[in-house]
Structure 1
């Protein structure tokens, strides 16, 4: 289609000076079109008056491709499904063993990968067998596609597509009572822990040390994703994760049921964990990275605990004292959970 601007009084001789409409983009180009020409063309064709070098004509909606799932690849459909992608040998094995995710849709394996030469070859073979017995389809993908499913994180050549884990919402902990003959339970409450690596590390430690339960905030917490599952070495798949809508209210309600609320803080007067009687049920509360416990959560706590700094003789103590004032929440939580459990072993 050819158009000659009516503002010019002469005929263009060169083909390059014609205004040629691109049939796909519907863009008219012309090196010497004037502002008045563009305004006239925009007015007569109901298009925008703006633009310095191009005139845009509205696309005919009947000519544009409809945005449907038929235009997506199977991998793109999987990524848009809202499912979780569990990656890594141990998390995938844990998810297939406990079967808390329903449904489990597909097992993806890296093509041309020789799993027989790996140290975990027996576990990988067991995973494949479990998927076959559960009628879970298996597909092979190249490493790049597996990288996309795992968010560019190490996947060890295996990814499992499954429904997200369901949170168990609670408003308070039940009354544990006092039992002088056996140690009371210990719960872990995480107040807005946002980093998935820290959350996974805490879940792994809680599972390993025998913590009774874990409660996280419904909002402003890291989602229970494949990244958290990998960081927990699959422990997230084995545990029931409880969620609370309001952390301070949850702690207050649990406090009325006889629970001792112990917050981790470097800024408050602290208590010695060994002085807390083993028969008293405890909720250990950890705050977010960098900010610690929120003020409304601190106001609920019965006491606070901190980890004493003991700098190595191999470092500059004066500089270390000014810049290393705390521990990563995952590391600090592991130390405090171990101290609590150790004080109740009798």
Structure 2
């Protein structure tokens, strides 16, 4: 059973640390290797498989005893609101479940995708948490083998991305790449066709003809404003979605999600 304690003051060291983790950028969190997760539903979903270091909640002792955590800290709503929003009160009415905060060790990057992957997602400089969350959710839903992040992406383990994805990507193996060459080498090592979402790319029907010598594929989705960095784009098979002339483009999360599904279907059909 978890240890249950009461914290009443906003000046408590544990509350101050939680606030720093919540507002801090990746550099502030990485030395501690900790993530902050907000919301009862997400906390409970993750805790089915992983134990939290701490869970902060305003709930009764009976309710608090069900969390999978080393410590459950009962804290007034006003203190939890301060952690989440600072001195600024939220404009919308919060559900009681929103004021449950988990503090947990961040999953470590994998040294290698095992067994050898067939389907990977590569995310290049995506900045908006909503897009990152949508891409990760789609990759999990389609049973992708992992995700590779460029070092300039939004932090995939910041609380905004975790909320946007409902933390479904928590168990998705991940790695990072600092240069395009590192991603190219990873794909060559696993015999993956490196594809890039691009408006001037090939139709999906043509991709299967290029992939006969490859075991699988890796789809790169680029930055919302600038797309995929040129050096990486030049090394990719560029893939486009057929769209009406009435629509200039789709955002990165939507377009990437459609292509993840389309490429998966194309690959399955080819292997039959």
TM-score (structure 1 length as normaliser): 0.59
* Deviation of the 1:165 alpha carbon: 3.4
* Deviation of the 1:237 alpha carbon: 1.8
- Once superposed, what is the RMSD of the aligned Cα atoms? 3.2
| CA contact 1:169–1:244 (8 Å) conserved in 2 | no
* Deviation of the 1:185 alpha carbon: 1.3
Please list every run of 5 or more consecutive structure 2 residues that lacks an aligned counterpart in the other structure. 1-9, 22-28
**Aligned match for 2:232, one of 283, 287, 297:** 297
- Which residue of structure 2 lines up, in the alignment, with residue 118 of structure 1? none
Counterpart CA distance in 2 for 1:80 and 1:174 is 35
Counterpart CA distance in 2 for 1:225 and 1:298 is 27
**Aligned match for 1:73, one of 1, 4, 12:** 12
Aligned positions of 1:199-218 closer than 5 A? 199-218=132-151
**Aligned match for 2:251, one of 316, 322, 328:** 328
| CA contact 1:85–1:150 (8 Å) conserved in 2 | no
Out of 223-232 and 157-166, give the one that drifted further: 157-166
- Which residue of structure 2 lines up, in the alignment, with residue 49 of structure 1? none
- Which residue of structure 1 lines up, in the alignment, with residue 79 of structure 2? 145
The structure-2 alpha-carbon separation of the partners of 1:293 and 1:140, relative to structure 1 and needing over 3 Å to count, comes to same
* Deviation of the 1:246 alpha carbon: 1.9
| CA contact 1:98–1:237 (8 Å) conserved in 2 | no
Aligned positions of 1:250-329 closer than 5 A? 250-255=183-188, 257-272=190-205, 273-275=207-209, 277=211, 280-301=215-236, 303-310=237-244, 321=246, 324-329=247-252
SS in 2 for 1:92: helix
Counterpart CA distance in 1 for 2:151 and 2:257 is 22
* Deviation of the 1:224 alpha carbon: 1.4
Higher gyration radius (CA): 1
Counterpart CA distance in 1 for 2:45 and 2:170 is 6
- Which residue of structure 2 lines up, in the alignment, with residue 193 of structure 1? 126
Counterpart CA distance in 2 for 1:175 and 1:107 is 34
Please list every run of 5 or more consecutive structure 1 residues that lacks an aligned counterpart in the other structure. 1-70, 113-123, 177-183, 312-320
* Deviation of the 1:330 alpha carbon: 1.0
| CA contact 1:86–1:159 (8 Å) conserved in 2 | yes
- Which residue of structure 2 lines up, in the alignment, with residue 108 of structure 1? 56
TM-score (structure 2 length as normaliser): 0.74
* Deviation of the 1:157 alpha carbon: 2.8
* Deviation of the 1:269 alpha carbon: 4.6
Out of 250-259 and 201-210, give the one that drifted further: 250-259
The count of corresponding residues between Structure 1 and Structure 2 is 237
SS in 1 for 2:175: strand
Residue 85 of structure 2 is aligned to residue 85 of structure 1: no
| CA contact 2:54–2:70 (8 Å) conserved in 1 | no
The structure-2 alpha-carbon separation of the partners of 1:268 and 1:221, relative to structure 1 and needing over 3 Å to count, comes to same
The structure-2 alpha-carbon separation of the partners of 1:175 and 1:164, relative to structure 1 and needing over 3 Å to count, comes to closer
**Aligned match for 1:227, one of 156, 160, 179:** 160
Counterpart CA distance in 2 for 1:209 and 1:195 is 22
* Deviation of the 1:174 alpha carbon: 8.1
- Which residue of structure 1 lines up, in the alignment, with residue 169 of structure 2? 236
Structure number having the greater strand percentage:
2
- Which residue of structure 2 lines up, in the alignment, with residue 3 of structure 1? none
| CA contact 1:264–1:305 (8 Å) conserved in 2 | yes
